[in-house]
């Protein structure tokens, strides 16, 4: 099976998926998240992809199934609760069971290795956490490249390196990067080439990926996975902004951040809605912010704005 997944909210303990990061496809949908449109293009155009799983977490993701109707591939929408209490955990556990049964039914196979896969996810996340703790001394572009490659491989083939190339500008202004999933590392490379030192992030494929608590294999495994997913870093598509601001404020102060680069996809409403609240929080900390909006064409003309921001810092 070659299942393309759109989000880190899809439980890796069930089966292998290929994490989607970017695709220059033909779909152009008015007032629709370009990242989601590229995902739809990849599914329709890539014969190597035989299935998709995506969350029901924002307006764009809710309608993906309609665009893929009749494509002849496995299509599964994973419903994510917008709460973090015991009732939400029970609901999410049911969704994980439903996802597993859907995969088994479509591919005609039995999934019997969820406990083993749970141990592999726990171990990988521990290794990523150790690497992230050393991020101020590492090249962030190399770190993100590693993550993107890692998440497109089967779980058993994922190997987290113990080291990465050193940061080329350790004396540069310390910046924090946040936003939606990055289609590539072009924009990140521009930030580092401008002499900025990326010391932390809030990206779905990075800190939010391994922020979840380890999953216990004792008791009900489905409920344990659900509780872990709900305990990770909050997302603007599902959680209260106050939770995000509190988490990031502590990280910004701890790492003595001097500037924030806020990256959004065009028509990605959750991050658009979060920005005013985030900007107010940064004003209170006297930390300047640069907002960069990607439009589906990669880094675009962001280099000039990033260079000016670096000069200001």
The ranges assigned to domains in the chain are 3-81, 114-312
pLDDT given for residue 32 in this prediction: 72
- At residue 55, φ and ψ (nearest 5 deg) are -85, 155
**pLDDT tens profile 197-227:** 999 999 888 988 899 999 999 999 999 999 9
Specify the DSSP element, H or E, that contains 88.
helix 86-107
Rounded to the nearest integer, the mean pLDDT of the chain is: 90
Domains 3-81 and 114-312 share a fold: yes
User: Mind listing the pLDDT tens digit for each residue in 234-254?
Assistant: 888 888 899 899 989 999 999
Query: In angstroms, rounded to a whole number, what is the distance separating the alpha carbons of residues 299 and 265?
Result: 11
Instruction: Give the model's pLDDT for residue 269.
Output: 78
* Least confident among 141-150, 249-258, 299-308: 299-308
Reported for 24-29, long-range contacts at CB under 8 A and 24+ positions apart, including other chains, are 27/67, 29/67
Q: Angle between the 114-133 and 140-150 helix axes, to the nearest 10 degrees?
A: 170
- Is the Cβ–Cβ distance between 90 and 41 less than 8 Å? no
Q: What is the pLDDT of residue 59?
A: 75
Q: Which helix (H) or strand (E) holds 202?
A: strand 197-202
The CATH number of the structural domain formed by 114-312 is 3.40.50.11900
| CATH C-level class of 3-81 | alpha beta
**The predicted structure's pLDDT at residue 186:** 84
Per DSSP, 166 falls in state: B
Check the CA dihedral 218-223-226-228 and report its sign.
negative
CB 239 within 8 A of CB 252: no
Q: Which of 22-26, 123-127, 264-268, 300-304 has the highest mean pLDDT?
A: 123-127
Taking the C-alpha atoms of residue 313 and residue 306, their distance in angstroms, rounded to an integer, is 11
pLDDT band at 24 (very low <50, low <70, confident <90, very high): low
Where does the pLDDT of residue 277 fall: very low under 50, low under 70, confident under 90, or very high at 90 and above? very high
């Amino acid at each position: 099976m070659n299942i393309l997944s759109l989000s880190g909210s899809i439980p890796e303990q069930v089966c292998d998926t290929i994490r989607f990061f970017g695709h220059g496809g033909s779909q152009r949908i008015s007032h629709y998240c370009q990242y989601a449109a590229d995902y739809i293009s990849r599914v329709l155009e890539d014969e190597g992809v035989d299935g998709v799983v995506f969350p029901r977490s924002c307006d764009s993701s809710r309608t993906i199934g309609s665009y893929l109707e009749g494509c002849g591939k496995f299509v599964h929408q994973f419903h994510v609760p917008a709460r973090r209490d015991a009732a939400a955990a029970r609901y999410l556990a049911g969704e994980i069971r439903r996802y597993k049964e859907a995969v088994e039914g479509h591919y005609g196979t039995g999934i019997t290795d969820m406990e083993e896969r749970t141990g592999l996810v726990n171990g990988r996340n521990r290794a990523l956490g150790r690497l992230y703790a050393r991020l101020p001394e590492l090249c962030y572009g190399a770190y993100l490249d590693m993550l993107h490659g890692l998440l497109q491989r089967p779980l058993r083939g994922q190997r987290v390196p113990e080291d990465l190339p050193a940061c080329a500008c350790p004396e540069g202004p310390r910046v924090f990067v946040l936003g939606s999933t990055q289609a590539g590392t072009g924009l990140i490379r521009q930030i580092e080439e401008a002499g900025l030192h990326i010391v932390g992030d809030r990206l779905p494929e990075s800190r939010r990926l391994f922020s979840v608590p380890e999953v216990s294999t004792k008791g009900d495994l489905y409920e344990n996975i659900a509780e872990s997913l709900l305990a990770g870093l909050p997302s603007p598509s599902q959680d209260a902004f106050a939770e995000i601001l509190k988490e990031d404020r502590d990280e910004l102060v701890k790492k003595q951040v001097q500037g924030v680069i806020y990256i959004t996809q065009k028509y990605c409403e959750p991050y658009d809605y979060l920005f005013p609240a985030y900007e107010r929080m940064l004003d209170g900390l006297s930390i300047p912010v640069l907002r960069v909006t990607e439009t589906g064409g990669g880094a675009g003309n962001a280099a000039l704005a990033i260079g000016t921001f670096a000069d200001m810092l």
